[in-house]
Amino acid sequence: MQISSLFKYVEQLQGTTPWGNLLDTGTGVKSLQWISTLKTDSWSAITASEAMARSSKESFPGTMRAQDRLIVGNWIDNELLKGEQFDTVLVDYLVGAIDGFAPYWQDLVFERLRPLVKGRMYIIGLEPYVPIVAQDEVGQYVGDVGRFRDSCLLMARERPYREYPSDWIIRHLHRADFNVISGKRFPIRFGERFVHAQMNMCKQRIARLQHCGVQANVATAMLEQVNELTERGLKLIAKHNGLPTGNDYVIAAEPKR
């Protein structure tokens, strides 16, 4: 299993401090696979998606221990993990994903998590690129993909994710009574997998459009756009050895004592 540079950096920040009881606040296949490699006393993984819970469980390497939990729940439920505390808390792309399950609630997420954090919290996120029209051809292309993808989701009556920048995260951590220990950006180089994954997502949504009141000729034109974006992306990848644009970030924080 290949561990991402973001998780490796979290391990570097954690150093020799025991992971203890770990909470994955927005779990997925990759984060749960990574957690399986750590020496934790126990872990609890939360997702609001039944489908994600199934995928994460099916992809989990090995057998879950008796003390480990995979829970389907939404953080707007105040009873979720009420009264519990965790030595380590992972917030892995959770803030951006919340819009699909609890719209307009992101400003409260760290206040909601604060009572659960006994030790260190790690926030992993993506600097927003969809609202930004880049000047270089690679950045412009990736933004075009994001805008087209979100359009497909909205027309299929779904909600796209809404990413938040690292400075927004830091402001809200301070407001929720956390000290920010460190923060680092990681440049992204997208590849063919990004292009095909995004376009396949679009195709799936376009196939549903007739059931959402969209005329057939609109769906046909959108499929043509899928082909154009795919062709343009693969040419840019060959030209630039990938699509170098944008940043992920990792922020470490601890509760104020």
Rounded to 5 degrees, φ, ψ at 87 are -70, -35
- pLDDT > 80? residue 82: yes
Rounded-to-integer distance, Cα 27 and Cα 43, Å: 11
Q: Where are the domains of the chain?
A: 1-127+163-188+246-257, 129-158+192-241
Over residues 126-143, the pLDDT tens digits come to: 999 998 888 899 999 999
pLDDT score, position 149: 97
Kindly provide the residue ranges of all beta strands, DSSP E only, lying in 143-233, ordered along the sequence: 178-190
Kindly provide the residue ranges of all beta strands, DSSP E only, lying in 2-116, ordered along the sequence: 21-24, 42-47, 69-72, 86-92
Confidence of residue 1 (pLDDT cuts 50, 70, 90): low
Rounded-to-integer distance, Cα 76 and Cα 3, Å: 31
Rounded-to-integer distance, Cα 110 and Cα 164, Å: 13
**Top mean-pLDDT range of 74-83, 93-102, 205-214:** 74-83
Q: Range with the lowest mean pLDDT among 64-68, 93-97, 212-216? A: 212-216
**One-letter amino acid identity for 186?**
F
pLDDT score, position 133: 87
> Across the chain, what does the average pLDDT equal?
95
Q: Is the dihedral of CA 53, 76, 42, 166 positive or negative?
A: positive
DSSP character at residue 107: G
Under 8 Å between Cβ of 86 and 21: yes
Under 8 Å between Cβ of 183 and 170: yes
Closest CA to 235 of 136, 141, 135, 133: 141
Closest CA to 64 of 90, 32, 26, 30: 32
pLDDT score, position 13: 97
Assign domain 1-127+163-188+246-257 to its CATH architecture. 3-Layer(aba) Sandwich (3.40)
- pLDDT > 90? residue 99: no
Over residues 151-187, the pLDDT tens digits come to: 999 999 999 989 999 999 999 999 999 999 999 999 9
- pLDDT > 90? residue 188: yes
Q: Is the dihedral of CA 70, 73, 76, 82 positive or negative?
A: negative
pLDDT score, position 63: 85
**Length in residues, the chain:** 257
Mean pLDDT of 105-109: 95
Angle at 34 between CA 149 and CA 244, to 5 degrees: 40
